[in-house]
Copies of this chain bind each other. A is one copy, B any other.
């Protein structure tokens, strides 16, 4: 049998992956969850037909969504991850020696359970004593924890259906309050190539709440178009002017301190979305 996964985010330009085997597939309370082993990208987590992360290219997404805000903050002690049940963001966050505690607030317990079981290469840091896992609604958690985190990362699915509320102005305003005095927020914010209107709207929402709002890009092979945006909101520190020279180097495959300074310089059609 020749088994292929058809990625579901874009209807007329579809990425397909040859599958060795399906390790788990189930309907959870929130979504269709699958972990499949592919020839090209190794094991991948697929939610509602959309590839979330793969063993082979997860480092790009997880390094960029975490190290940009964590290197921008001079002393990130407490970090909140909303979503991110695969544990990839926690893995990167815990590379920072300043971090004392990471709270992971994931709505779907099965994402955590199955990633612990089938994707230990990505999820291993969820076992770290500095990591606290909460199963619940991130919006509610953020609302109930004011002035509590130095960095908040929204590592969510796409802004349609269940996760839509994670991209709205109200939520960003609550994240602002959840952050400490000079806190920083970052989120994955879709592909400017296929969804320029969404990227623009999200950027404007962040900008309406945070004094510093910046969009940055990374090349992620398994996300539609291969070129993905993240948006950062900051109360005080500017990611482009922060001095990184004294910061301890960490082991990465994509992020570098030099790249940190320039990933905010955008191709024209993307820069235009932030005007």
Contact = CB atoms under 8 A, between A and B. Distances in A.
* Copies per complex of this chain: 2
A10 B60 CA distance: 20
B17 A15 contact: no
Contact of A253 (B38, B40, B219, B268): B268
Interface stretch (A74-82, A168-176, A182-190, A257-265): A257-265
Nearest to A4: B14
Interface in A226-273: 226-227, 252-256, 258-259, 261-262, 265-269, 271
Contacts of A101: none
A15 to B, nearest CB: 6
A49 interface: no
A225 interface: yes
A41 interface: yes
Interface residues of A, number: 44
A13 interface: yes
Interface string A156-197: 000000000000000000000000000000000000011000
Contact of A225 (B16, B221, B262): B221
Contact of A226 (B4, B39, B226, B268): B226
Interface string A12-28: 11111110000000000
A57 interface: yes
Interface of A: 4, 6, 10-18, 38-41, 57, 60, 193-194, 217-221, 223-227, 252-256, 258-259, 261-262, 265-269, 271
29 contacts: A4-B14, A10-B40, A12-B17, A12-B18, A12-B38, A12-B39, A12-B40, A13-B15, A13-B16, A13-B17, A13-B40, A14-B15, A14-B16, A14-B17, A15-B16, A16-B16, A57-B193, A60-B267, A193-B219, A193-B221, A217-B219, A219-B225, A219-B227, A220-B226, A227-B227, A255-B268, A256-B265, A256-B267, A262-B262
